[in-house]
Amino acid sequence: MGDDGYKTKLIETKKAWARAGRLLTGETAEHGVDRLPPGQRLVENWPVLDLGIQPDVPRAEWRLLVGGLVENERRFDWDSFIAEPQVDILSDVHCVTQWSRYDNRWTGMTTRHLAQLVRPHADARYVLFSSYDGYTTNVRIEDFLEEDCLLAHSHDGTPISREHGGPVRIVIPRYYFWKSPKWIKRITFSAEDEPGFWEERGYHNLGDPWLEQRYD
């Protein structure tokens, strides 16, 4: 099956899951108290999930545009990105397909530092993401600016591989991992929300695992 066929089949399967409420337990848990959200199972490996497209973006060719409602639009290449302060952050991953992986060590630039560089306008209430494979998603700005969120280039001490979203991906630990897009290309601060790829196909607009917000 070609890439287009795989993508079409995957999309239709996931849309059917959303319509049927597949994987839902009907339970909730308290974030920060219950480490494993409802319906999740722990894994030690790192499953690969994508739309059947894994763009090959060498570091020398990678570019990131950060704009929208900001005072200082920024364009990063690899050298300018890596020249900014880099941090290590430990966090868990929760995928909507029911797997969770504890204690992932990410290295990269925090979203708070990025916001200090671009200075979002007061009416910027949402952050919109676009990736090199055409994928899009969205979060509220207050969630984007939580202290454990970052633009990551390394995972557990090694560069993030192509299949997992390298050279740079977003990491937003409090939400299901579809909200942490791979192969990030553009970040836009916006006054209006714009549901992304899966949000337009029946998935929840927020995606909080502890509230089991898998679907709309």
pLDDT digits (tens, 9 = 90+) for 155-204: 999 999 999 999 999 999 999 999 999 999 999 999 999 999 999 999 99
Position 9, amino acid:
K
Q: CA–CA distance from 194 to each of 24, 56, 188, 198, 199 (Å)?
A: 25, 27, 11, 12, 9
- This prediction has a pTM of 0.92
The residues near 165 (Cβ < 8 Å, ≥ 6 apart) are 181, 182, 183, 184
Query: pLDDT tens-digit profile of 83-132?
Result: 999 999 999 999 999 999 999 999 999 999 999 999 999 999 999 999 99
Closest CA to 178 of 60, 107, 99: 99
**Is the separation of the CB atoms in 38 and 213 below 8 Å?**
no
Contacts of 147 (CB under 8 A, 6+ apart): 110, 112
CA angle 124/126/130 to nearest 5° reads: 120
More confident residue, 141 or 216: 141
User: 3-211 sits in which CATH class?
Assistant: alpha beta
Q: How many other C-beta atoms can be found within 10 angstroms of the C-beta atom of residue 18?
A: 18
Tell me: the pLDDT tens digits for 25-80? 888 888 878 899 999 999 999 998 777 789 999 999 999 999 999 999 999 999 99
> For residue 3, what is the enclosing H or E element?
helix 3-20
pLDDT of amino acid 1: 47
Using a 10 angstrom Cβ sphere, with 0-12 exposed, 13-18 middle and 19 or more buried, the burial of residue 135 is buried
Which residue's entry shows tokens 């499953």? 47
CA dihedral 102, 41, 153, 169 (to 10 degrees): -140
Do 168 and 64 meet the contact criterion of CB atoms below 8 Å apart?
yes
- Domain spans in the chain, listed from the N-terminal domain onward: 3-211
